[in-house]
Amino acid sequence: MKKHLSKRLYTIISFIVCNIYLTGCVLNIDQKKANKMLTNDYCAIPIQSEINPSKTSIKELDKINPDLLRRIGIENSELIQSIGLIEPLIKLSISESSTVNLNKENKTEALMDVNQKLMLARDIIGEITGELDCEAVRATRIRDYLASLGTKRNNNLTIAAIFSGAVTGLAPLVIKNQNPQNAVVIAGSALSAALGVAVLTNNKKKVEFLHERNLLGEIWNTPGDRKYLPDFIWTMLTSKIDQSANSISDLQRIRNRWSKLELSGMDKKQEKVLFGQGGTYTQDELSTRISLLNELSTEIRLLNIRMTKLSLILNDRK
């Protein structure tokens, strides 16, 4: 009878060891099931229209209507150049200084041109933030999938730990021979420790996650690497609204915040994955990517406030 119980204990230990092996396997997401979450172009939103910058120097506008340029402000001078507003603003200023009917028609046409360009700029801002939001959702889905698999694995490990504790506790009662008894107790204790370590490291599972069109890299990498952000958005991010000596641009502020918070302690290898075309991510690293995407989306969405203020200035015909 005791011999039979001993064999059953060894069988239970073998089962637990197999369970640890199986639950310790790398969690791979089925490419067929997660294809749309992992493909590079899942969130790519092609910009339907481009804004051509003005070829005329802003100095020409200053000669014709210095008061308008003063109201626009130094902080927006590069912006109106990048949106292509110099020529219609010059045309608008000339038409306003004349009483000829033809010039009045030119005024209406020029004002429509200005507002169309401003509206197009807002639409492009919406497209960029939409892409960032979509990328955040895509990363969230992968992270949550990893989390659900980790929960299932934790449940299996917990069950295995209960069996391991039961075996270790019963061993002295059913095995009287000292050597086999010690072996079972030691094996059960080691097994319990291994299960505890497995639970603690459960969130270290990784997944291959790709993002060829990476807008985060546009912010973090050198300006020469910029491919996807439109020129006028880049101009707004790099210009200083406050012209005081200690002021910094939105771009510098974003980079400073990232380096001190989200990226603090991150190694260069993972940083390259995060701001490059993708690679291997853990659940925590996906959370970091989601946080950066949400922050950048908010920052770019806030650029609409500047666009609204500029629109109010340009449409104020007093």
Per-residue confidence (pLDDT) for residue 119, from 0 to 100: 94
Residue 217: pLDDT over 70? yes
Q: Which pLDDT tens digit goes with each residue over 45-102? A: 666 667 889 999 999 999 999 999 999 988 899 999 999 999 999 999 888 876 655 5
Residue 155: pLDDT over 80? no
DSSP labels, 190-201 = HHHHHHHHHHHT
The rounded percent of the chain whose pLDDT value lies above 90 is 42
| Token pair of 7 as six digits | 């064999």
Higher pLDDT, 30 or 145: 145
- In sequence order, the β-bridge partners of residue 210 are 278
Per-residue confidence (pLDDT) for residue 148, from 0 to 100: 75
Interval 286-296 mean pLDDT: 96
Residue 246: pLDDT over 80? no
Cα distance between residue 216 and residue 213, in whole Å: 9
pTM of the prediction? 0.76
Which of 27, 67, 53, 100 lies closest to 235, judged by CA?
53
Q: Where are the domains of the chain?
A: 29-49+123-148+203-314
Higher pLDDT, 149 or 306: 306
Element (H, E) at 235: helix 231-238
